[in-house]
Amino acid sequence: MAREVGLCAAMLTVVFSGVCYRRRVSIEQSSPSDPSELETGAAQRAANRPQKVISRSLADIADQVGATSVLGDAFVTGIALSTASTQPGDLFFAQPGARAHGAHYLADAVRAGAVAVLTDAAGADIIDVTPGVSALPRIVVDGHPRRVLGGLAAWFYDQPARALKTIGITGTQGKTSTTYLVDAARQSRHTGVIGSMGTRIDGVAVPSTLTTPEAPQMHALMALMRERGVEVVTSEVSSHAITMGRVEGLRFDVGIFLNLGHDHRDFHGTQQAYLLAKRQLLTPAMSAVALVNVDDGAGRRLHADAELNTQSFSVTGRDADWRAVDIDLRLDGSSFRVIGPDGQTARFTTPLVGEFNVSNILAAVAALDIVGHPLAASVAGISSFAGVEGRVQFVPVDAEFQVVIDAGHKPEAINALLRAMRPLTPGRIITVIGSNGNRDAHKRPLMGRFSAMASDIVIVTDDNPADEDPETIRRAVVAGTRGSRAEVFDVGGRAEAIHKAVELAREGDLIAIVGKGDERHQIMRDGVIVPHSDPDEVEWALRQRAGS
């Protein structure tokens, strides 16, 4: 990640002129820092922040968050939630963490360039007894600092989302593909994408972290997009992000609900809590219009209970505002016609395979139409979009069988993929599947069950076992296959499992390797990273088969 090592003094003279007026809010001691005292050096900003410097005085920030006390003053040019993301001139948020309070890391943040800190009373107590940072300008707020983070970040960057058309997407599966489909429909023109595969502006990658970035980075990215002339931004909105306030300060023009499956029980505790987290996107506070998949049971309930302007979509013939009809599904792609609520219609042809991809396309083009990008204008971009790497990705093989790789690691995603492949496969389906360690153990039998329901052969192997015993994880997946007609193999070692699948394949078969997609590694015990690529392993197995 690019790191700002300083700010041009000449630039600061212009930027701060007329901006850093001071209104005292319980200032206890110390005089305001002069802008020119900020660390100097190269003027290059971090690649994921706007290049035009925005500055705020600590006194104004204190007013904005309703501070209980303020120590000193400083001029702040950014907001950081971790020491790794801290840039010179930043306000560092020191808040309670899972293992320790963020105030313990303040010295590291200062070394990275932080000029002030916002914290709670507990954090202030820690700072008071920490050598070297006790006199750092600070703001103290009541309660958890995160509660003011989103609103502050939006204000700090001058409400960038208001200058953009924003589409937020939630769902257990399909979020990444749908964000990329929005981008494809606009042919990456004046379009931003934020999600688990990174951030893109007009098709060019921008450094970022997390499926949905933390609020400071989210608003900074949108400010950067505004600066670069982006018109439409589409973002994945995970249930974690909603619960943890990462999208606070945003109100999407369209909030899309794709589906609800079994995932994140380790975080939410219950399936109902998981649903309620996702439901928040479909409230007037977070979205102006809701777009809901009524082919999904949870979607139908959310559509019926919605408290805002809501439109529905369906690919299965249900009564909906947006419908895909005349659907033709093939192994080399799909075609269908979209009918909108005002009678608008367009025919789409895509190289993407499966009914779930038709549903994702329908969601993308409907949302775009709602924000002003006409349905017909999406046809060309969708027809030329080959898909997202690692998502239903067919591996070119010089053989009489097919190989598809997919990142799906949730039971419903596996079920959707295999059900889509079944009518398109003349031979057998051979599924290679594993489950991650250290999370969501309850879904492992379901993964095995859904794999066995639609497969002829299931090879249970390792994914990212992390700190769990790989054999224990595999046994839980195998348990879900019991009672099925599928032939089941337990093969420790993912490479060995892929080679086993290629050995077993014959004419007309399809090998589905699920769980990792575009990942290039496995996570083992104690965080050890082992290089691994499903596509590369398939290629090696095919060469071995050809030479045997």
Give the mean model confidence (pLDDT) for residues 169-187: 95
**Is residue 363 within 8 Å of residue 378, measured between CB atoms?**
no
Q: Does domain 393-547 have CATH number 3.90.190.20?
A: yes
What the block records as the tokens of 534 is 């499903």
Query: Boundaries of CATH 3.40.1190.10 in the chain?
Result: 159-383
User: Percent of the chain having pLDDT more than 70?
Assistant: 90
Question: What digits encode the pLDDT tens for the residues 54-107?
Answer: 999 999 999 999 999 999 999 999 999 999 999 999 999 999 998 999 999 999
Higher pLDDT, 356 or 20: 356
* SS3 state at 378: helix
Per the CATH hierarchy, to which homologous superfamily does domain 9-155 belong?
MurE/MurF, N-terminal domain (3.40.1390.10)
C-alpha neighbours within 13 Å on the C-beta side of residue 543: 6
Summary mean pLDDT of the chain: 89
Question: What digits encode the pLDDT tens for the residues 338-377?
Answer: 999 999 999 999 999 999 999 999 999 999 999 999 999 9
> What's the pLDDT band for 245 if we cut at 50, 70, 90?
confident
Regarding the domain delimited by 159-383, which CATH topology (the fold level of the hierarchy) does it fall under? UDP-N-acetylmuramoyl-L-alanine:D-glutamate ligase (3.40.1190)
Q: What is the pLDDT of residue 26?
A: 31
Question: What digits encode the pLDDT tens for the residues 385-418?
Answer: 999 999 999 998 888 999 999 998 889 889 999 9
User: Percent of the chain having pLDDT more than 90?
Assistant: 80
Q: What is the pLDDT of residue 269?
A: 63
Helix (H) or strand (E) holding 293: strand 287-293
Output the CA torsion 149→154→155→156 (10° steps): 80
Query: Boundaries of CATH 3.40.1390.10 in the chain?
Result: 9-155
- Angle at alpha carbon of residue 96, lines to 244 and 132, rounded to 5°: 135
Higher pLDDT, 473 or 24: 473
Which positions ≥6 away from 476 have C-beta within 8 Å?
435, 441, 444, 445, 448
> What's the pLDDT band for 46 if we cut at 50, 70, 90?
confident
Classify the phi-psi angles of 226: left when phi > 0, otherwise alpha if psi is within -120 to 50, otherwise beta.
Answer: alpha
Q: What is the pLDDT of residue 544?
A: 92
The C-alpha atoms of residue 49 and residue 547 are separated, in whole angstroms, by: 52
> What's the pLDDT band for 11 if we cut at 50, 70, 90?
very low
Q: What is the pLDDT of residue 470?
A: 96
Which positions ≥6 away from 478 have C-beta within 8 Å?
448, 460, 488, 490
Q: What is the pLDDT of residue 38?
A: 35
Report pTM. 0.86
What the block records as the tokens of 233 is 């931004």
What the block records as the tokens of 194 is 């934020």
The amino acid at residue 240 is H
Strand partners, 434: 461
Question: What digits encode the pLDDT tens for the residues 446-459?
Answer: 999 999 999 999 99
Query: Boundaries of CATH 3.90.190.20 in the chain?
Result: 393-547
